[in-house]
Structure 1
Amino acid sequence: MKTAILIIVVLLTLQSCSRKSDSTPLVDYVNPLIGTAPACTLNALSHGKGSENNAQVVPYVTTPFAMTNWTPQTRATETKCIAPYYYNDSIINGFRGSHWLSGSCVQDYGSMSIMPVSGDLICSTEKRGSGFSHQKETSTPYNYTVYLDDYNIKTEMTATKRCGMLRFTFENAGSAHIILNPNSDEGQGFTAIINEQNEIVGYNPVHRIYQGWGEAAGFSGYFVARFNRDFDSFGVFQGEDIMERDTAIRNVQDLGGYATFLVQSGESIEVQIGTSFTSIEQARKNLDAELANRNFEHVEAELKATWEKVLNKVQVEGGSTTDKTKFYTALYHSLLHPRTFNDADGTYLSFSGGKQVLNSGDKDYYVDFSMWDTYRASHPLFNLLMPEANANMMWSLLDKAKNGDWLPIFPCWNSYTSAMIGDHVITTLADASIKNIIDISDEEYQYLIKNAFETPANFEDYKNGKGRRALSSYLKYGYVPLEDGVRESFHKNEQVSRTLEYAFDDFALSRIALKRNDTQNAEELLQRALNYKNVYSKADTCVRGRFADGSFTPDFDKLKRMSYITEGTPWQYTWYVPHDINGLKELMGGEKDFAEQLDRFHVSGQYWHGNEPGHQIPFLYNYCGQPWKTQALVSEIMLNEYDAGVGGLSGNDDAGQMSAWYVFAALGFYPVSPSVPEYVISGPHFDRISIQLNNTNLIIEAPGASSGKNYIQNAKLDGKIYTKNYLNHFDLLKGGKLEFEMGSTPNKDWGTAQKDRPYSLSRE
């Protein structure tokens, strides 16, 4: 055991020493508390409201893409849009094995909680909480520690991919109790005491609450908690009713079990918790596979080494400690989802109801794809930094199609949902395919075509999330008319936004069709990719709701939220044509008018960084000969919309998309149009960046970038003058050196040539 810990420490030391000027482990720049308080960024104060004014992240102790994440719990519910932990809360009532979609407004599911108390036994989650102080709280990706003031208990957490490990140190001698419960809001679940094995086990059935109807998902979150010493007493409870020596309880509100110990002052009790989505027995197997014969320090050191290895894929130099904290915390947040669903031996329940027990072999099967968000930057980031992991994610999506007979749109809870608009699983698969991360078979390709051209014949299948919403209207009119209320969807109406997003998805699918020489479908899809024009009103220089007869709705204000727009205003969504900016320019009257409209949009304060549909907008000046404005805007957003404080994220992080945007922006380029292997250049924000790409390194040098020189003067790629304002994905994979000469004032000549503009479907 000591040898293993020594090896991990040596690895951490070597990784730290590989950086020239800073020996701080990269993982120690990560602050998981960033984003756990209401956003205090500039944009959030003017645009955010309700849950959108909070990043909705929690201080996870976890591995990248883990099955279960471990967090302190200040809210015991699994209610939609309520995260397990909020920084401004003052009471901790448990420590949760969580499946909360980080940064989201869905709900936790299949979760369980554990809570230590001393003195009198108090089991109810409403009564057992303890005050705590942030001065006695430490949060890192590999350890969370807090002192529970009411009980004088020090609590520490660390984790593996499927398991958690907690250590409770009791200052008070005498009776100590550790309570476990499934977090079911439906009065469901099960807990049992297995005294002879020092175990408390249980499960919490999963419901698809965000879908809107709350149906059972067909599986549960299972747990096995194993203690490192014998119980002096035990029992189960329902709320405040305690049943000492009883060994099982099920399907009542606020149920759980507890173990009691007589402890000396300063004594610690360790609890190892295995989790699974398959069964209690599989949770026990996961515990044995990942935690058997291991102590807290060893697990913690290994988790720290895991994060250090991943974060070392991008090494930055220059800038302040705050700059590095913002960057590496963003990278950490980017790597939390999707979620591993299979057990350590590969076992997992099939998609959409779990009727079959399958095995993933030597790869992981993933769930919880927040596709409306993460196709934009998160998955492109994985394609660049972690292509093998993203290939397994794409395999998981295609596996869902084979099991459910339809490619999912927004797969959460290992289920179909119509939770958000668009069909961006197609775009995500297209980006991976075009970048040669995956090969799509003939059979798999048919599932993509099916989504784009067919609607389920069975209404219940459609209602439950199979197929594109309002596809028949979209195909008939070339847009979704206002008469189609899209009732069988969690997000109803939003017809203009659906039209725009389907047009982009059609474009992305056309890229796969062209790669496969399927010219017939490619031509039709490319024509459909121009459907965005059908909801554009030239008189308003803006998108606008349209009826089936072709007339535009009188209900229109480009500056206000409209029912036919998703989570935004018509003007904000007007710029959502990432595949055909040149075509949008033509609609606006040409390049000059386009640039002027873009200026007016930003001057009016319409840009809202706290929600995803506009994330590409700051980069659009590169398409109209004014890339220095992109460089200035991105720098401003990085400064004003991200902070190293607890309120430092400008809206829901949405499974890491908000953070992935920052990572790309700091590197100096962004994937405006996923499925096109290009990145639009905005300029790096560190003096030197080293990116590990498979078996080579890409070095980006930009002296002065970290000290306010944010304008590109000139650039070189491998010693040759580089004038394009975008980068090719395959050129980056070759490694080498990208050099930027940075300055404090714009160079209005660099990157402005029309022949050197980023890709657009319509050619100038």
Structure 2
Amino acid sequence: MKIIKHATYLILGILCLLQTSCNGIDKKTSANNPEKIIVENVLKYVDPMVGTGGHGHTFPGPTLPHGRIQLSPDTQLLGWEASSGYSYADTTLYGFSHTHLSGTGIGDLGDVLLLPFTGEFNNEKPVGAFSHDKERAEVGYYKVTVEPWNVISELTTTLYSGRHRYQFPKSDDANVMVDLAHILQANWGHKVVESSIQIIDEYTIQGYRKTSGWAANDPIWFTCVFDKPILSHVINVDGKTMDATSASGINTTVYATFGKLETPLNVKVAVSAVDQAGAKQNLNAEADLETFDDVVKHAQNLWNDELQAITITSKDTTVLKNFYTALYHTKIAPMLYSDADGRYRGMDNEIHKNTHLKRYSAYSLWDTFRAWYPLMTIIEPDRSKDWVYDLYQQSQEGGLLPKWQLNGNYTGTMVGYPAVAILSDAVNKGLIDSIPNKLLDAALLSSKWQPEFHEKHKGTRAEMVMPEQIYYKEKMGFVPLDKTKESVSYGLEMAYYDWCIAKMADALGAKEIAETYYKKGEAYKEYFDPEIKFMRGKNSDGSWGKNFNPRFSNHLEGEFVEGNSYQWTPFLPHAVNDFATMLGGKKALGDWLDNLFTTSSEIEGDNASADITGLIGQYAHGNEPSHHVPYMYQFSDRPWRTQEVLDSIMKQFYTPTPEGIIGNEDCGQMSAWYVLNAIGLYQMTPGDNQYYIGRPMIDSAEIKLKNGSFKIEVMNNSAKNKYVEKVLLNGKKLEANKIEYNDIKAGSVLEIYMSPNK
């Protein structure tokens, strides 16, 4: 039996790392325009170390918003905690690589690793060490002393390149290892397929490697330029050291020495998934950013602008730190994948060029449709539109909408066809200005069994973009337990996705399609056992599976994905009223939810999923299927319980510490959940434009829009006053605690009055 206990409360506000004022965001008046208020010092509330401990799987190194480069230290190579390359508990430092994933549960990338070191080198690869007392992580900047060589190493990034500055001890010979053999999560199948390296001149190294892992086909080219001459070098290929200017093989590493240096060594590195010319071009694309300090200033100014998309005030410093760190994490993925000239490697492995629409990578989708995309549609409507068109273009190149796309690869990770939730949300919010019917066609294609695609990719990860669960859903109307794994989770999620397609069709006037898919969206009824009031697996003959236990989890092998029946039974965000009816009414819904949040947190099963974290009862905030559940109380006889539960979640599971994210960050989803809930809003059902009022943490918020701003004022907010008394929109009291997406517009004001009374 595996037991995952209730997470310990982490009330550590007084121990937070950043020193700030508790009165909100610092402001000053512009000298050029006295009417304009400039918000300053937002960055001091952001701590990139948050989530690097525990199972957050974030990385602390610098990147730009949705940038091509994520330059960060790699401290762990194997296992789950190596997903981002960095774990706060480590002391080993392998070097600094240029591509990383933020908060995922599977690792990849870690391309083109550099390690500065001193002294003589031999055939053994040097490995460094570090300590947190000589480490500093800020937005756009990272600094650490690499031991045992005492090399002060600083990192920053432009959109397309990584910049390094190394201060070596003046008495020792300075060396840099450029390692193409470096890999993350090699024990999970990630490997180098081929690599090559060239010494172009005394300042320049370039090369290529291809890896296969989560992304099955992942080539990358790089150009590395030093500002001091290489005095000598050796290349190691597959364990053999040679004195040559070029070499190729599987595992390739070059060791360059620069002699004794009086001043820091500066290094520029750019990459491309297209070709060597692309890497060189990307390096030259930002030549105006000449010095390391120029790049840091540029990065921090850009981030400061981006993070002022929402300005908040709060008397609680912890709220400010949680909020802006979370907002920072929402703007890392998806990452830019196309080159500066618009070229990119497509889902068909061909090179394409689009100078109008950028290509992005690391679309988590199953995680991010829930809160990240609804947040982006508010603060980034133009990018939100572009991401939809990008997903559509990927479907045209590869045949189907992607499911966890990574670097031009279908990884097939997670459940169903979640891209349709994002397409539906964009269409229903009016963000789409062209080809809406083609988007609907792409969604329909992904929802139906496509045997040709399945056979073409059989035996690869891409096969799971069109898994057999879709076949059974279409053939039998439900996914049978005795034919497939994870049947209930697939069945429930696909019912929601089919409802999303119905909403798209409805909005586009395709009434027959809408009617068909609304009916498909009711397939959740197939898994509900009215006798026990839980979702459970059903055999192909219609009989229930044996030995049902709602606490039981069997990771990758059972009926539920990364959870159990307690966590998956309420996954019908599009049909909560119907769920209440199936349970016996509003009171029965409230009773069921109360049991969920108050029952024992014991998880049973020898192979229980490690993703079940952040437990309050059997509610698991550390994994995405639970994220809408607190709002289901709004449909019960005790809507005030929404505020109670949200208050607990935001205070327990979000703290400005390395362990401050209770589960995998998952490309911004965990953080987007906090951002929305902290300002008091949450879109429970993407595809439906309603944002529910929750339990705001802030005192006020200003959301910048194209033509002005939308303001939220929270009255009488305090730890004691956690219940919503009334809500006013532009001075008019709302009958229900919810607003529409279109209500979030310039000039409007939402007033939320808090009270100690339920």
User: Could you tell me which amino acid in structure 1 is paired with residue 92 of structure 2?
Assistant: I
Q: CA deviation at 1:230?
A: 1.3
The CA distance in 1 between the partners of 2:204 and 2:529, in whole Å, is: 65
Does structure 1 residue 509 correspond to structure 2 residue 463? no
Q: Which moved more, 1:74-83 or 1:220-229?
A: 74-83
Show the counterpart of 2:226. 227
1:141-168 per-position Cα deviation (integer Å, ceiling 9, x unaligned) = 2100011231111100000122100000
CA contact (8 A) 1:58 1:84 kept: yes
- Cα shift at 1:721: 1.5
Q: Which residue of 1 aligns with 2:479?
A: 480
Deviation per CA, 1:473-501, whole angstroms, max 9, x where unpaired? 1123221011222xxxxxxx100110100
User: Which residue number corresponds to residue 41 of structure 1?
Assistant: none
> 1:403 Cα deviation (Å)?
1.0
Given that 1:145 and 1:154 are in contact with CA atoms closer than 8 Å, whether structure 2 keeps it comes out as: yes
Distance 1:529 1:666, change over 3 A: same
RMSD: 2.4
Distance in 1 of aligned mates of 2:425 and 2:39: 36
Match of 1:204 in 2: 209
Match of 1:339 in 2: 335
Could you tell me whether the CA contact under 8 Å between 2:720 and 2:756 is conserved in 1? yes
For residue 728 of structure 1, the aligned residue among 725, 735, 740 is 740
Flag structure 2 segments of 5+ consecutive residues without an equivalent: 1-25, 600-616
2:357 to 363, 380, 389: 363
User: What amino acid maps onto 1:106 in structure 2?
Assistant: I
Question: Shift of residue 90 of structure 1?
Answer: 0.6
Distance 1:79 1:271 in 2: 31
Identity %: 28
CA–CA separation in structure 2 for the residues paired with 1:62 and 1:731: 33
Aligned residues of 1:249 and 1:256 also touching (Cα < 8 A): no
Counterpart contact for 1:368–1:413, Cα < 8 Å? yes
Structure 1 residues 468 and 515: alpha-carbon distance in aligned structure 2, compared to 1, 3 A threshold:
farther
Per the alignment, do residues 188 and 716 of structure 1 end up closer, same or farther by CA in structure 2, a change over 3 Å counting? Answer: same
Query: Structure 1 pair 589/331, CA: closer, same or farther in 2 (3 Å)?
Result: same
Separation of aligned partners in 1, 2:281 and 2:578:
56
| Residue aligning to 1:470 | 469
Of residues 287, 300, 307, the one that matches 2:303 is 307
CA contact (8 A) 1:627 1:682 kept: no
In structure 2, the residue corresponding to 1:690 is in which secondary structure? strand
Inter-CA distance 12–22: structure 2 relative to 1 (3 Å threshold): closer
- Report the Cα distance in structure 1 between the residues aligned to 2:120 and 2:34, rounded to whole angstroms: 52
Q: Is the 8 A contact 1:368 1:414 kept in 2?
A: no
Partner of 1:524: 516
**Aligned residue for 2:22?**
none
Give the CA deviation at 1:350.
1.7
* Equivalence for 1:173: 171
Separation in 1, partners of 2:727, 2:58: 37
Shift in alpha-carbon separation, 1:73–1:652, aligned structure 2, 3 A: same
Alpha-carbon distance change, 241 to 457 in structure 1, aligned in 2, over 3 angstroms: closer
User: Deviation string for 1:345-399 (max 9, x for gaps)?
Assistant: 11111213x12x2112133211211111001011111111001111111111100
Give the superposition deviation at 1:320: 2.5
Once the two structures are superposed, residues 127-183 of structure 1 have per-residue CA deviations (whole angstroms, 9 ceiling, x without a partner) of: x22222211111012100011231111100000122100000112323110111122
State the TM-score, normalized to the length of structure 2.
Answer: 0.88
Stretch moving more, 234-243 or 597-606: 234-243
Indicate the residue corresponding to 1:274 in structure 2: 270
Per the TM alignment, residue 225 of structure 1 is displaced from its structure 2 partner at its CA by: 0.6
- 1:47 is aligned to none
Distance 1:609 1:231, change over 3 A: same
In the superposition, relative to structure 1, how do residues 197 and 704 fare at CA in structure 2: closer, same or farther (>3 Å)? Answer: farther
- The alpha-carbon distance between structure 1 residues 14 and 258, as it changes in their structure 2 partners (threshold 3 A), is farther
What corresponds to 2:539 in structure 1? 547
Partner residue of 2:548? 556
Distance 1:97 1:74 in 2: 14
- Measured against aligned partners, the alpha-carbon deviations of 1:289-321 in whole angstroms (never above 9, x if no partner) come to 024561111111010011100100111112332
- Contact kept? 2:691, 2:741, Cα under 8 Å: yes
SS of alignment partner, residue 264 of structure 2: strand
Q: Per the alignment, in what secondary structure is the counterpart of residue 733 of structure 1?
A: coil
In structure 1, give the amino acid aligned to 2:500. A
Please say if 1:453 is aligned against 2:448: yes
- Is the deviation greater in 187-196 or in 317-326? 187-196
- Match of 2:526? 534
- Aligned residue for 2:142? 144
**Relative to 1, partners in 2 of residues 1:264 and 1:198: Cα closer, same or farther, differing over 3 Å?**
closer
**Residue in structure 1 matched with residue 408 of structure 2 by the alignment:** 414
> 1:716 and 1:145, CA in 2 relative to 1: closer, same or farther beyond 3 A?
same
Task: Name the residue aligned to 2:610.
Answer: none
After TM superposition, give the deviation of residue 680 of structure 1 in Å: 1.4
Please report how far the alpha carbon of residue 240 of structure 1 lies from its aligned counterpart in structure 2 after TM superposition: 6.7
Q: Flag the 1:257–1:553 CA change in 2: closer, same or farther, 3 A.
A: same
Structure 1 residue 707 displacement after superposition: 4.9
Q: Please name the residue that 1:5 is paired with.
A: none
> Paired residue for 1:96?
97
Which amino acid is 2:542 matched to?
A: G
Distance 1:477 1:239, change over 3 A: closer
Bigger mean CA deviation after superposition, 559-568 or 137-146:
559-568
TM superposition shift of 1:239: 7.1
User: What code does the residue aligned with 1:421 have?
Assistant: V
What is the deviation of 1:460?
A: 2.7
Deviation at 1:557, TM superposition (A): 0.3
3-state SS of the aligned residue for 2:619? coil
Letter in 1 for 2:701: I
TM-score normalised by L of structure 1 = 0.88
* Alignment-derived partner of residue 151 in structure 2: 153
The AA in structure 2 aligned to 1:227 is F
Partner of 1:489: none
CA distance in 1, matches of 2:448, 2:286: 45
Instruction: Tell me, in whole angstroms, the C-alpha distance in 1 between the residues paired with 2:369 and 2:35.
Output: 32
Deviation at residue 539 of structure 1 after TM alignment = 0.5
Structure 1: gaps of 5 or more residues: 1-10, 39-53, 486-492, 747-764
* Residue 53 (structure 2) aligns with: 37
Match of 1:602 in 2: 597
Distance in 1 between the 2:50 and 2:666 partners? Answer: 14
Number of paired residues? 700
Distance 2:436 2:736 in 1: 35
In 2, the alpha carbon distance for the partners of 1:173 and 1:593 equals: 75
Q: C-alpha displacement at 1:229, in angstroms?
A: 1.5
1:664 equivalent to 2:676? Answer: yes
Give the Å deviation of 1:105. Answer: 1.8
The 1:109–1:558 alpha-carbon spacing in structure 2 relative to 1, beyond 3 Å, is same
SS in 2 for 1:62: coil
| DSSP 3-state at the match of 1:702 | strand
Shift of 1:627: 2.5
Aligned partner of 1:630 in structure 2 is 642
Aligned-pair distance for 1:520?
1.2
Name the residue aligned to 1:105: 105
Once the two structures are TM-superposed, the CA of residue 417 in structure 1 deviates from its matched residue by: 2.8
Cα shift readout 1:40-84 (whole Å, capped 9, x = no counterpart): xxxxxxxxxxxxxx1111113001111220101112469896431
SS of structure 2 residue aligned to 1:210: coil
Q: Cα deviations across residues 485-525 of structure 1 (Å, max 9, x unaligned)?
A: 2xxxxxxx100110100000000000111111111111110
Alignment partner of 1:351: what SS? Answer: coil
State the alpha-carbon separation in 1 of the partners of residues 756 and 394 from structure 2. 50
In structure 2, C-alpha distance between the alignment counterparts of 1:376 and 1:389, rounded to whole Å: 17
Alignment pair present for 1:429 and 2:423:
yes
1:119 alignment counterpart = 119
Of 571, 577, 585, the residue aligned with 1:590 is 585
Three-state SS of the structure 2 residue aligned to 1:373 is: coil
Is this contact kept in 2: 1:78–1:108, CA < 8 A?
no
Q: Report the Cα distance in structure 2 between the residues aligned to 1:741 and 1:632, rounded to whole angstroms.
A: 16
> What is the distance in 1 between the residues matched to 2:692 and 2:743?
14
SS at match of 1:37: coil
In structure 2, what is the Cα distance between the partners aligned to 1:708 and 1:311? 29
- Secondary structure of residue in 1 paired with 2:631: helix
| Matching residue within 690, 708, 715 for 1:678 | 690
What amino acid is aligned across from residue 714 of structure 2 in structure 1?
A
Match of 1:262 in 2: 259
The residue type paired with residue 137 of structure 2 is: S
Q: Deviations over 1:650-703 (max 9, x none)?
A: 011111111111111101111110010111110321111111122221111113
321 and 79 in structure 1: CA distance in 2 versus 1, 3 angstrom threshold: closer
